[in-house]
Amino acid sequence: MSQVTSRLISRVILPYRREDAGAPPSLHADYRSTMLRAPRLAPLAIPATLTEVTGPDHAWARLMGPAMADLTVQHRGEPQGQRIVVAGLVLDEQARPVPDTVIEIWQANAAGRYIHSRDDWPAPLDPNFTGVGRVITDAEGRYRFVSIRPGAYPWGNHKNAWRPAHIHLSLLGPAFATRLVTQMYFPDDPLIEIDPIANAVPMPYRQRLVARFDIGTTVPNWALGYRFDIVLKGRDQTPFEEEHDDH
Amino acid sequence: MTTDLEALNAAPRLDNQDPTLFGQTPSQTVGPFFHYGLPWKGGADLVGRSDLGARPDLMPPEHFLLATSGVSGAPQGEVIEIAGGIYDGQGTPLNDVMVEIWHANAAGRYASDEDGREEVPLDPHFVGFGRGATDANGIWRFRTIRPGRVPGPGNTLQAPHIALSVLGRGLLKRLATRLYFADGEGNGDDPILALVPPERRDTLIARRRPDGVWWLDIVLQGENETVFFDL
Ligand SMILES: [Fe+2]
C-alpha cells in the first residue's frame, strides 16, 4: 500500500459521541471525596484521533484472563446470601450490540463487607466469597453472570451514611473513548434515593443504573434474575471526511 | 377462575429497561475497594512477566483471583519505565487510585481492529494496554516500550504519546489525559498539544530522571492541574 493511500485511510476518523445529559459532573459536593479530587478546570475538548477510537479489542483473555461468570463457585463451599443471576446486553447508543467485550465485576458479600484490608466495618467476611468476576459479551452483545446479592454498607461520607446494595462493573468497550466504570443498583432499595454517589447522576438518568427484576431471568428453585443493559458511547453513522485536495 | 401465575411479571418502572431512558450508562466511581477486582499481576508490565500493577497486599492471598501476566514475549522497541505521583488539591499523594495506559507499538500501530494500516507492522508480543494501582506512596508505574508516531487529524502526525486514564475513589468518572516525552520527535507541532494552552503543556510532558525513569506527576486539582481531555 502506498504512503498516500495509508494517509487517506488514517484520515477518516469516525469520532465517538461525547458524554450525554446523564453523565455525572466530576464535582458533586455531597460526595465529599470529590471536593479535593475533581479538577477545577473544564476538560479540554479534543478531536478524535486514532488514539481515541482504537482500543484493546479481542485482547481481554491475554490481559484480564478467561471468563469467571459464576462468583458462587470460587471456593470450597457456597457463599451465604440470596443467589442471583444478572443478565443483559452491552449496546452502543444506536442500540447495536457490542460483541466480544469484557465486563469486569466486583462487589461486597451478602453482609455488605468487601474482601479488602481497608474495609473493616463489623460485618462478617465470608470465606466462600471473594466477589470478583468477569464476563465476555457474545456475538449479540449478551452477558450473564451468577452471584449473590450484595448487602448495603456504611461509609464515612457523613454521619449514618449507607451505600445502597450495588455491583461494580467495568467495561473497556471497543475504544479508549468508550471506557466505562459504573455501578448497578437493585430496584427495591430505598437507599438509592439518599445516596450521594448514585445522586451525582441527575434524575431521571439515575434510574439507568437501577436493574429490573425479571421473572424471565429468574431460574426456578435456584436464583432471582435481574436485567441490566449497559449502553456505551456510540458513533454517528456517517464518517466525517475531509477534503482530499492535496494529492 | 384462577390467575395464570406463571405468566405474571412484576410491573415495569422507571429503570434500566425503560425505553424512554435509553442512553449512555452513567459513570460511577470505582470506589476504594477495586484492588481485588481490577489490577492483575503484571497489568502494569507490558514488556515481561512480573507482578507490577497489582496490590496483593490489600487482601488475603486466597482472595487474589485476578490474572497473572499474559505477556508472551519481548516486544520490539526501546524498553522504558514511566511513573509519577498522583496528588489531590492539597498535594496529598493518592494511594487508592488506578491508572490505565493505551498506546501504539514501536512502529506506530495500534493493536486494534480500528487501526487497519497493514503497511505498519503489528507486534505479536504487544497489546499496548496496561493497568496499575498506585502504591502505598501514591506512585503509579509502568514498564512498556516507547511508542512510535501515529497519524493525527488531516495530514498531521502526532508526537509519540501514551493515553492515560485515571480512576479512583472520589472520581465519579474516568479522567483522560496523555503523556508525551520531553525529547519527543514532533512535540512542537503535535496537533493535540497545540490545542493545550502553552502554560499548561508541561503537565503532559514526562521528563527523564537521572535513573532513566520517565516521570510525570498527575495533579487532579489546583496549582499545576493536569490537563484532562473531553473525548
Ligand atoms: Fe462499593
Å between B202 CA and nearest CA of chain A: 15
Q: Which residues of B, range 199-218, sit inside 8 Å of A by Cβ?
A: none
Cell of A16: 465517538
User: A138-173 pLDDT, tens per residue?
Assistant: 999 999 999 999 999 999 999 999 999 999 999 999
Residue B230 lies in a domain: no
Share of chain B above pLDDT 70, in %: 99
Cell of A133: 468476576
Taking 3-state DSSP, the helix, strand and coil percentages for chain A, each rounded to the nearest 5, stand at 15, 25, 60
Instruction: State the average pLDDT over residues B45-67.
Output: 97
For A66, the 3-state DSSP assignment is: coil
Mutate to test the interface with B, among A5, A10, A14, A121 (most CBs of B within 10 A): A10
User: Residue B21: phi, psi to the nearest 5?
Assistant: -100, 0
What residues make up the domain containing A134? 55-231
Residue B55 lies in a domain: no
User: For chain B, what is the domain count?
Assistant: 1
Residue B96 lies in a domain: yes
Do β-strands B139-145 and B79-87 pair in parallel, antiparallel, or remain unpaired? antiparallel
Reduced 3-state DSSP string for chain B = CCCCHHHCCCCCCCCCCCHHHCCCCCCCCCCCCHHHCCCCCCCCECCCCCCCCCCHHHCCHHHCCCCCCCCCCCCCCCEEEEEEEEECCCCCECCCEEEEEECCCCCCCCCCCCCCCCCCCCCCCCCCEEEEECCCCCEEEEEEECCCCCECCCCCECCCEEEEEEEECCCCCCEEEEEEECCCCCHHHCCCHHHCCHHHHHHHEEEECCCCCEECCEECCCCCCCCCEEC
A44 to chain B: closest CA residue: B229
Is the Cα dihedral B213, B214, B220, B221 positive or negative? positive
Rounded distance from Cα B116 to ligand 1 centre (Å): 39
Residue B164 lies in a domain: yes
Q: Does A247 qualify as catalytic in the annotation?
A: no
Instruction: Kindly report the average pLDDT of chain B as a whole number.
Output: 96
The residue with cell 466495618 is A121
User: For chain A, what is the domain count?
Assistant: 1
Residue B50 lies in a domain: no
Residue A35 lies in a domain: no
Residue A184 lies in a domain: yes
A87 beta partners: A144, A227
Å between A58 CA and nearest CA of chain B: 8
Q: How many C-beta atoms lie closer than 10 Å to residue A157's C-beta? A: 16
Å between A189 CA and nearest CA of chain B: 12
Predicted pLDDT at A6? 47
Give the Cα separation of A31 and A39 in Å (integer).
15
Predicted pLDDT at B60? 97
What residues make up the domain containing B131? 76-219
Q: Do A117 and B57 touch (CB under 8 A)?
A: yes
Does residue A223 contact residue A85 with C-beta atoms inside 8 Å?
yes
What global pTM score does this model have?
A: 0.94
Residue A18 lies in a domain: no
Does residue A191 contact residue A164 with C-beta atoms inside 8 Å?
yes
B160 to chain A: closest CA residue: A51
Q: Does A143 qualify as catalytic in the annotation?
A: no
Query: CATH no. for residue B161?
Result: 2.60.130.10
Report whether pLDDT(A31) > 50.
Answer: yes
Query: CATH no. for residue A179?
Result: 2.60.130.10
pLDDT band at A35 (very low <50, low <70, confident <90, very high): very high
Q: What is the dihedral of CA B111, B114, B115, B116, to 10 degrees?
A: 110
Angle, CA of B7, A220 and A210, to the nearest 5°: 75
